[in-house]
Amino acid sequence: MPAPAGRSIVPKAIRFELRLALRHLRVGGRQTLLTVSVVAAGVIIVIFMSALVFGLRQKLTADLTEAIPHITVQVEEVKPLPLAHIPGAATGASSSRIEQQASQQKYLDNWSQAADIVRRLPSVRTVAPAVREQGFASKGRHTVGVSVVGIEPALQDEVAPVSKYLFTGHYLGLSSEEIVIEGQLADELQVGLGERIRLTAKTDAHATFTIIGIYNTNQGRSEAYVTRRMAQSLFGLGTSVTVIFVKVRDLFEADHVAQHLTALLPYEARSWSREFPGFRASLRGRSAIVYLISAFSLISSSFAIASVLVVSVLQKSPQIGILKSMGARRRQILWVFIFEGLGVAIVGSVLGAVLGTALVYFLTFIRQPVTQMGQVSEQLFPVAVLPGYIALAMLAAITSTVIAAVLPARRAARLNPVEVMR
């Protein structure tokens, strides 16, 4: 208690309690240090876990946002219905014949109008009309089934990037006689840059292309990119396309936008989530794990604090008796121990926040080893430092510590001074 009657921001009513609590902590030395570390460890765990999981979530989201079209607009596939699902069909009726599927129009003939409608939606970022058809790629004796995509390279790069994954050659500036193929396809055909391959459509129409680029997304989709004009003529589509790729601003809004588009257009709009149904659930599951781990680490650290404070109260029992005999009220004793807990909590959580953030920061320097030519080295641990979450972790640590302090403090305040001074 150094300053006598000095001005202080601490209200007079609690000044003695606060001073004594701080003095306890200072004199407590190793024990105080231990308690502070327990709180700090809890906060570090929470920050660390959340940084990892939310970082992974952000990265997955970003990757997905970038790598795939969010919505594909195409002609709705007509699928045969089981008889039982057809209203009015005689009950018990059965069919043993599989009818030849009626020929369907597979292309969007008024696509530029449709693209305009899509483009006008505020949540839509990019619209890329394209031709996507199945065909065969052949070189010499090798023939491989391939998905041929006819695009405008610059526009398509915004929807499903290829340039980024090129490991040789180029993609932008693709001309009509040129083709960019996936690495695995190149392996199967045993071709390299500059060689020529032939694409054949189901109609037997064919054309030859020079390979000007090979890319590798590690996603195993065997695609070959040619110009949209070339694809239209190869597959006999005239000026039509078969699909409109759409990129929206918010990945998680895609379902909503797709529904809206299906209503607006005479075509079917499919959201990415129909292709990756587990993705959203797994993100949600990971977040739940973080909340669980956070809660448990906070609970266990508050148990640790409570036990340390219980011991501290036992040790200080004689002192509590003395304070009472000197006229200290119950509430004053209570406050001494609550302040003690609060001091531990504040120092511990600030320390934990600083160390946890530093740890997460250092993690960002660890890079993935480069295993493939042309691969850009990425962070081994994608992390997210979320100030809001850190603040929340600190607040939770402080709250749980104070709650853990209150119970022993109440016991301390109730002690009978005569009992404890014997």
Partner 1 sequence: MRDEMHSANGHVATEALDASVSLPPIVVETQGLKKTYGGKIAVPVLRGIDLQIRAGTFVAIVGQSGSGKSTLLHMLGALDMPTAGRVLINGVDLATLEEDELALLRSEEIGFIFQFHHLLDELTCLENALMPITIRHGTETEEQRARVIRLLQRVGLEPHLHKRPDEMSGGQSQRCALVRALANAPKIVLADEPTGNLDSRSGQEVFALMREVNRASGVAFVMITHDDRLAQAADRIFLVENGVLQEVEKK
222, 319, 357, 364: which one contacts partner 1 (CB under 8 A)? 319
Identify the residue among 90, 93, 98, 326 touching partner 1 (CB under 8 A). 326
322: contact with partner 1 by CB under 8 A: yes
Closer residue to partner 1 in complex, CB, 26/196: 26
| Alpha carbon 5 to chain centroid, angstroms | 56
Helix H or strand E encompassing 196: strand 196-200
In angstroms, the CA 197 to CA 211 distance is 7
Q: How far is the CB of 420 from partner 1 (least distance, A)?
A: 11
Among residues 23, 119, 142, 256, the one that binds partner 1 under rule CB under 8 A: 23
Using N-to-C axis directions, what is the helix angle for 387-414 and 330-363, rounded to 10°?
Answer: 150
Q: How far is the CB of 5 from partner 1 (least distance, A)?
A: 5
318 binds partner 1 (CB under 8 A): yes
Residue 327 interacts with partner 1 (CB under 8 A): yes or no = yes
Residue 338 CB, nearest distance to partner 1 (Å)? 16
Nearest to 118 by CA among 251, 232, 263: 263
Closest CA to 79 of 268, 293, 292, 289: 268
Closer to partner 1 by CB, 321 or 356: give it: 321
What dihedral do alpha carbons 382, 386, 387, 392 form, nearest 10°? -130
d(CA 170, CA 180): 8
Q: Which is nearer to partner 1, 145 or 318 (CB)?
A: 318
Pairwise CA distance, residues 253 & 280, whole Å = 12
The CB-of-9 to partner 1 minimum distance in angstroms stands at 13
Size of the site for partner 1 (CB under 8 A): 35
The distance of closest approach from Cβ of residue 40 to partner 1 in the complex, given in angstroms and rounded to an integer, is: 24
- According to the binding rule CB under 8 A, does residue 410 interact with partner 1? no
- Residue 8 contacts partner 1 per CB under 8 A: yes
**Out of 1, 9, 98, 102, which residue is the one contacting partner 1 (CB under 8 A)?**
1
* 328 lies in the binding site for partner 1 (CB under 8 A): yes
- Spatial separation of the C-alpha atoms in residues 169 and 194, rounded to whole Å: 9
Question: Distance (Å, rounded) from C-alpha 176 to C-alpha 163?
Answer: 18
Shortest distance in whole angstroms from residue 249 CB to partner 1: 58
Token pair recorded at residue 87: 């209203």
* CA–CA gap between residue 35 and residue 33 (Å, rounded): 6
Contact between 15 and partner 1 per CB under 8 A? yes
As given in the structure block, the two tokens for residue 391 are 């603040």
CB of 325 to partner 1, least distance (A): 5
Binding flag, residue 11, partner 1 (CB under 8 A): yes
Q: Which residue is it, tokens 């996507």?
A: 132
H or E, element range at 17: helix 12-28
Q: How far is the CB of 23 from partner 1 (least distance, A)?
A: 4
Q: How far is CA 217 from CA 220, 328, 363, in A?
A: 7, 73, 26
Determine which residue in the list 33, 193, 311, 418 makes contact with partner 1, applying CB under 8 A. 418
Chain residues binding partner 1 by CB under 8 A are: 1, 4-6, 8, 11-16, 19-20, 23-24, 26-27, 318-319, 321-332, 416-418, 421
